[in-house]
Amino acid sequence: MVADVDDSRIQAMEEALRATGMRMTRQRLALLQVLDEADDHPDANELHRRAQEVDATVSLATVYRTLSVLEDRNIVHRHAFEGAPARFETTDAPHHDHIIDLDSREIVEFTSPEIERLQREVARRHGYEVVSHRLELYCRKIKSGSA
């Protein structure tokens, strides 16, 4: 019934935490599991809700705290889309940017090496080097064919 969890990634995340002298708690494990299972881009509240199903003791404060830690360790990415709470995803997928469906709030991922290259070029032209970037396309579905 429950989605079968691929423990290997969770263990990899555990390693990453332990490697920097952090303790593995029930709460963190629950959150790691939830993050691993998520294939959408949940916000902190939603992650809290899901984590509580795994371990009822997980508090929202701990979700935020752990997400910060995971972000520092580069295990999750935080995305602050327009006018909405931040949403999170694990970093196991390679870098990508986002299309936000304005109607459904659905997120579609995409990559464009060409755009990335142009970004670096533009920055360099202004005497800068790109540390990170944010590229979001707020879109509507194209009504194709007949109305």
Partner DNA sequence: AATGGTATTGAGACTTATTCTCAATAAGAA
Partner DNA sequence: TTCTTATTGAGAATAAGTCTCAATACCATT
Q: Establish if 12 lies at the interface with a copy of itself (CB under 8 A).
A: no
**How is residue 127 annotated by DSSP?**
T
Contact 73/115 with Cβ under 8 angstroms?
no
Applying CB under 7 A, which residues contact DNA? 18, 21-28, 43-45, 57-62, 64-66, 68, 80, 84-86
- Give the Cα separation of 70 and 32 in Å (integer): 9
Among 92, 95, 93, 89, CA closest to 12: 92
26 or 141: whose CB is closer to a copy of itself? 141
Candidates 27-35, 38-46, 63-71, 109-117; binding stretch for a copy of itself (CB under 8 A)? 109-117
* Residue 27 C-beta: closest distance to a copy of itself, Å: 25
Binding mask 71-100 for a copy of itself (x = CB under 8 A): ---------x-xx---------------x-
Contact 51/60 with Cβ under 8 angstroms?
no
* Other C-beta atoms lying within 10 Å of the C-beta of residue 98: 19
Tokens of 70: 């995971």
Contacts to a copy of itself by CB under 8 A:
80, 82-83, 99, 101-102, 108, 110, 112, 114-115, 118-119, 122-124, 126-142, 144
